[in-house]
Amino acid sequence: MKTTILIISLLLTGIIETIAQTYDTVWLSSLDISKATIGWGKPGADVSCMGNPIILDGITYKKGFGTHAPGVLYVKLSGGSARFHATVGINDEEKASVGSAIFKIYTKTDLLWQSDIVRSGGHAQSVDLSMAKLDTIIFCSETTADGPNYDHTDWADAYFLVKGSKPIAIDRPSEPAVILTPKAAPGPKINGPKVYGVRPGNDFIFRIAATGERPMVFKAKGLPAGLKLDSKTGIITGRVKKIGKYEVTLSATNIIGTSNRKLTIICGSQIALTPPLGWNSWNCFACAVDQDKVKAAADAMVKSGLADHGWSYINIDDCWMVQPESKDAVVGGEIRDDQGNMNVNRKFADMKGLTTYVHSLGLKIGTYSGPGPKTCAGYTACYKFEEKDALKFAELGFDYLKYDWCDYERIAKDHSLPELKKPYRVMRDALNKVNRDIIYSLCQYGMGDVWQWGTEVGGNCWRTTGDITDDWSSMESIGFGQAGKEKYAGPGHWNDPDMLVVGKVGWGPQLHTTRLTPNEQYTHISLWALLASPLLIGCDMTQLDDFTYSLLTNDEVLDINQDPIGKQASRILKDGNFEVWVKELEDGSKAVGLFNRSLFAAPVTVSWNDLGLAGNYIVRDLWSQHDEGNYSGSFTATIPSHGVKLVRIYKK
Ligand code: GLA
C-alpha cells in the first residue's frame, strides 16, 4: 500500500514538474495594458483602476489587471497559449457601492466564456479556459443595466500558461473612416432651423444658411417690420417690436437656380426654439483659449461652410476673465473696476471688438461664468455681482451664457433642491433685466435631477451629466444614459448631454484626433441629433478633416436635431447591447436610430408594432441620404460594432 502511494505521488510530482517545465506563466498584467480602453481611471498592472491593491471578496491578490467597465483589451496569442486562468469581480474598494458588471472573453468571432453578474461586495468568480490554437482573444468587462458607476472590474491572479509564442496586447482593429454624407450640390439649398424665436425689441441676428455656389442673392418675403435682409450675405438684422408669428419665405438664387424655404419667426417670450447649433472653446482649447483663437473659429465656421448648414454660435468657455492671483486684467490689474464691472484678462484685450466681429459674420457669440466666487478653472465669476455681470454680458453683445456651478459648492449649504435652484434663479432674474436674447445654459452636471426643474428656473438648456471625454465609454454612457429624460425637453428648454468630441480635441494647448472610432463618431452625432441636444462642436474648426466635416454637415441629420416640434427621442428597445431610439418629427414621420453597443457587427431590428405603425413605409438612410426601399412590419439592418443605422420612416 505504502509503495503504491509512494509511486503515485512520485508520478504526480513528475507530471507537475513536467507541466512547470514545459509551460511558462505569463501574467496578464505584464502585457502592455495601456492598449486597453476602460470606462474610467487607468488600466492597472497589479493594482485597481484607482491604483489600489487588487482585493476581491476580502482576498488580496499580488497579481492582476485592474479595469473599469466597459473595458476592452485585445490579446494576440498566435496559438502559443495553452490555458488562461483568472478570478474576477468588483474590487472591494467599491464594496459598499452598487457596482455590477459582467466579464466576458471572446475570440474574434465567438463568446468563449462569460461570468454571472458580479456585484460590489459580492463573490468573485473563477475562470480557467483552454486557449489551445486560439489566435486572438478579447477581454471585456461590460456594464449592466444600471450603467457604469462603481464598476471597478478586476481580473485577479490572471495568467496564461504559454508554450511557444508569448501573448501580446494589441490595438483594437482600426476601421476605415467612410464618408457617407453626400457633397453639397452647386445649386442653392437653404438649410438651418425652420422656426426661430426672438423677444420683442431685442437685437435680431440670423444668417440664412445656404449651400451652393456663390455669388448668391437672398430674398425674404414676409419679414416682420423692423428686420432687414442684406441680399448679398443673407444676414437678417434689426428688432421686431410687435409680438406675433411671422411666416417668412426665404429664397436663395445663384447661377444654377433658386431654392426656397419657410422660416417661422416667433416674436414672443421664448428663444432657443430649436437646440442651439454652434461651437465651444473648452473641448479643444480649455484655458489655452484667447481672442485670436475665437476669431479664427468664427472665420473657420464661415469659410469651411459649416455656417451654410446652420451652425451659428461661437461660445467662449472658461478662462476669459481675471484670475485673482495673476493680476492679468487688461484694465488696472484688478478683477473689477471701481464700479464693480468685471475685467477681462489680457488674452481678451478687445472683447467688444471680438463680439462685434463675430456678429458682422452673421454669427452669435457666447460666454461662460458661474454663480460662485470663481469658475471651475479658478477665474473670477459672478457671485454677488450677478446684475452687474448680466448687464456687462448684454453690453458686450453676448447671446449665450453657460453658467457653471463649480465653485458655488463653497457657498451652497447643501444639495437640497432650494439650494440647487437658488443661484440659477438669481442669474435668471438678472438676465430678465437686460434687453438682450441670451440663451441661458445651466451647467451643474445633472445634480438634483435638474431636468425636472431647469425650465422652472428659466434655463434654456441644462447639462444632464458630468464632463464628456473623447472615448467610447464616456460618450456611450452619457448618450445612452439619456433614456427617460425625453419628457423634460422641448422648444426653448433642452437636455444637454455635453459637447461634441469629434475632430481635433484635447483641452488645449496640445490637440489630438478624437479617440472615438469612425463608427463611434456616427453613433455620437446620430444619438445627439435624436436627443434634440444642443450641438456644440468641440474641436478646432481651423483643422477640420473631410471625415469630421462630413459628420457635421449632413443636412438630413441636422434637420432631425432641429425639427420644429422639438421632441427628444425615446428608447423603445433595449435588448442587451442592441437599442432602438425613436424621435417623432413634425411631418408625422419618425427618425429611428438602430444602435449596436457590442464588439461585433450584428443585425438589429425595429418592428412597426413597437413604432405604432402598420402597413408599408419607406425607410430612408439619413447619412447617405437615400431611400432603402419599402418595408412592412419591420426593418432590419446589420450594424457594425459600436455603430448605428439612422433612418427616417415615412409615407410618400
Ligand atoms: C466644467 C464644465 C466644463 C467646462 C469647465 C471649465 O468642468 O463642466 O464643460 O466648462 O468646467 O472650467
Q: What is the 3-state secondary structure (H, E, C) of 75-107?
A: EECCCCEEEEEEEEEECHHHCCCCCEEEEEEEC
For a ligand 1 pocket test, name from 404, 463, 464, 474 the mutation site with the most ligand atoms within 8 angstroms of its C-beta: 404
Q: Which of residues 1 and 139 earns the better pLDDT score?
A: 139
Compute how many other C-beta atoms are within 10 angstroms of the C-beta atom of residue 214. Answer: 10
Q: What is the pLDDT of residues 39-69, one digit of tens each?
A: 889 999 999 999 999 999 999 999 999 999 9
C-alpha cell at 410: 463653497
The minimum-distance atom of ligand 1 relative to the CA of 317 is 10
Q: Which of 404, 437, 496, 559 is an active site residue?
A: 404
Phi/psi of residue 389, nearest 5 degrees: -70, -40
Residue 104, amino acid:
K
For a ligand 1 pocket test, name from 281, 282, 287, 447 the mutation site with the most ligand atoms within 8 angstroms of its C-beta: 282
Judge whether 34 and 43 are in contact, CB under 8 Å: yes
For the cut 60, the answer to whether the pLDDT of residue 9 exceeds it is no
Instruction: Kindly give the distance from the C-alpha atom of residue 474 to the centroid of ligand 1, in angstroms, as a whole number.
Output: 15
The CATH architecture that domain 2-170 belongs to is Sandwich (2.60)
Q: Which of residues 7 and 564 earns the better pLDDT score?
A: 564
Residue 8: which pLDDT band, with cuts at 50, 70 and 90? low
Q: What is the pLDDT of residue 349?
A: 93
Q: Among 505, 499, 516, 440, which residue's Cα sits nearest to residue 464?
A: 499
The minimum-distance atom of ligand 1 relative to the CA of 467 is 8
Query: Which residues, judged by CB distance below 6 Å to any ligand atom, belong to the binding site of ligand 1?
Result: 282, 317-318, 375-377, 404, 443, 467
Integer Cα distance of 410 and 239 in angstroms: 41
Residue 325: which pLDDT band, with cuts at 50, 70 and 90? confident
Residue 324: which pLDDT band, with cuts at 50, 70 and 90? confident
The minimum-distance atom of ligand 1 relative to the CA of 499 is 9
For a ligand 1 pocket test, name from 317, 380, 400, 442 the mutation site with the most ligand atoms within 8 angstroms of its C-beta: 317
Judge whether 648 and 622 are in contact, CB under 8 Å: yes
For the cut 80, the answer to whether the pLDDT of residue 10 exceeds it is no
2-170 shares its CATH topology with 189-267 = no
Q: What is the pLDDT of residue 602?
A: 96
Integer Cα distance of 519 and 540 in angstroms: 21
Judge whether 554 and 622 are in contact, CB under 8 Å: yes
Q: What is the pLDDT of residues 568-607, one digit of tens each?
A: 999 999 998 999 999 999 999 999 999 999 989 999 999 9
**Spatial CB neighbours of 490, under 8 Å, sequence gap ≥ 6:** 566, 567, 568
Fold of 189-267: Immunoglobulin-like (2.60.40)
Going by alpha carbons, the residue nearest to atom 2 of ligand 1 is: 467
Integer Cα distance of 444 and 208 in angstroms: 33
The residue ranges of every structural domain in the chain are 2-170, 189-267, 277-561, 570-650
The minimum-distance atom of ligand 1 relative to the CA of 445 is 8
Q: What is the pLDDT of residue 109?
A: 85
Residue 4: which pLDDT band, with cuts at 50, 70 and 90? low
Residue 213, amino acid:
E
DSSP 8-state assignment for residue 555? H
Q: What is the pLDDT of residues 546-570, one digit of tens each?
A: 999 999 999 999 999 999 999 999 9
Going by alpha carbons, the residue nearest to atom 3 of ligand 1 is: 467
Going by alpha carbons, the residue nearest to atom 9 of ligand 1 is: 467
Integer Cα distance of 529 and 559 in angstroms: 8
Judge whether 35 and 71 are in contact, CB under 8 Å: no
Q: Active site includes 337? A: no
Q: Active site includes 575? A: no
Q: Among 111, 120, 115, 116, which residue's Cα sits nearest to residue 138?
A: 111
Instruction: Kindly give the distance from the C-alpha atom of residue 286 to the centroid of ligand 1, in angstroms, as a whole number.
Output: 9
For a ligand 1 pocket test, name from 465, 467, 505 the mutation site with the most ligand atoms within 8 angstroms of its C-beta: 467
Instruction: Kindly give the distance from the C-alpha atom of residue 376 to the centroid of ligand 1, in angstroms, as a whole number.
Output: 6
How confident is the prediction for the chain on average, in pLDDT?
95
Instruction: Kindly give the distance from the C-alpha atom of residue 579 to the centroid of ligand 1, in angstroms, as a whole number.
Output: 30
The number of helices, as runs of H, and strands, as runs of E, in the chain is 11, 41
Q: Starting at the edge strand that comes first in sequence, how are the strands of the sheet with 195-198 ordered?
A: 195-198, 258-267, 244-253, 217-221
Going by alpha carbons, the residue nearest to atom 5 of ligand 1 is: 376
Q: What is the 3-state secondary structure (H, E, C) of 386-418?
A: HHHHHHHHHHHCCCEEEEECHHHHHCCCCCCHH
Q: Where are the beta strands (DSSP E) in 268-363?
A: 277-280, 313-315
Q: What is the pLDDT of residue 294?
A: 98
For the cut 70, the answer to whether the pLDDT of residue 127 exceeds it is yes
Instruction: Kindly give the distance from the C-alpha atom of residue 388 to the centroid of ligand 1, in angstroms, as a whole number.
Output: 23
Instruction: Kindly give the distance from the C-alpha atom of residue 405 to the centroid of ligand 1, in angstroms, as a whole number.
Output: 9
Q: What is the pLDDT of residue 329?
A: 75
Integer Cα distance of 352 and 372 in angstroms: 24
Quote the Cα angle for 137-142-147, to 5°: 165
**Percent of all residues in the chain with a pLDDT value above 90, rounded to a whole number:** 89
Judge whether 208 and 199 are in contact, CB under 8 Å: no
Kind of pairing between the strands at 54-56 and 59-61: antiparallel
- CB neighbour burial string for 422-444, b if at least 16 within 10 angstroms, e if fewer: bbbebbbebbeebebbbbbbbbb
* 17-31, 139-153, 406-420, range with the lowest pLDDT: 17-31
Integer Cα distance of 281 and 578 in angstroms: 34
Residue 56, amino acid:
L
Mean pLDDT of 351-361: 98
Any idea which residue has 444619438 for its cell?
Answer: 527
Mean pLDDT of 321-347: 85
For the cut 80, the answer to whether the pLDDT of residue 7 exceeds it is no
The minimum-distance atom of ligand 1 relative to the CA of 466 is 8
**With respect to CATH, is domain 570-650 assigned 1.10.260.30?**
no
The minimum-distance atom of ligand 1 relative to the CA of 375 is 12
Instruction: Kindly give the distance from the C-alpha atom of residue 404 to the centroid of ligand 1, in angstroms, as a whole number.
Output: 7
Q: What is the pLDDT of residues 80-105, one digit of tens each?
A: 999 999 999 999 998 888 899 999 99
Which alpha helices (DSSP H) does 486-579 contain, by range? Answer: 518-530, 546-552, 555-562
Assigned CATH class of 277-561? alpha beta
Q: Where are the beta strands (DSSP E) in 452-577?
A: 461-463, 494-496, 504-505, 512-513, 535-537, 570-575
Residue 622: which pLDDT band, with cuts at 50, 70 and 90? very high
Q: Which of 203, 467, 610, 621 is an active site residue?
A: 467
Instruction: Kindly give the distance from the C-alpha atom of residue 220 to the centroid of ligand 1, in angstroms, as a whole number.
Output: 39
Residue 15: which pLDDT band, with cuts at 50, 70 and 90? low
The minimum-distance atom of ligand 1 relative to the CA of 286 is 6
Q: Among 426, 413, 349, which residue's Cα sits nearest to residue 382?
A: 426
Q: What is the pLDDT of residues 461-520, one digit of tens each?
A: 999 999 999 988 889 989 999 999 999 999 999 999 999 999 999 999 999 999 999 999
Q: What is the pLDDT of residues 274-318, one digit of tens each?
A: 999 999 999 999 999 999 999 999 999 999 999 999 999 999 999
C-alpha cell at 18: 513536467
Integer Cα distance of 361 and 354 in angstroms: 11
Q: What is the pLDDT of residue 12?
A: 52
* 12-16, 222-226, 384-388, range with the lowest pLDDT: 12-16
Integer Cα distance of 479 and 473 in angstroms: 10
Give the global pTM: 0.91
Q: What is the pLDDT of residue 1?
A: 47
For the cut 60, the answer to whether the pLDDT of residue 11 exceeds it is no
Q: Can you say how many angstroms the Cα of residue 173 is from the centroid of all Cα atoms in its chain?
A: 23
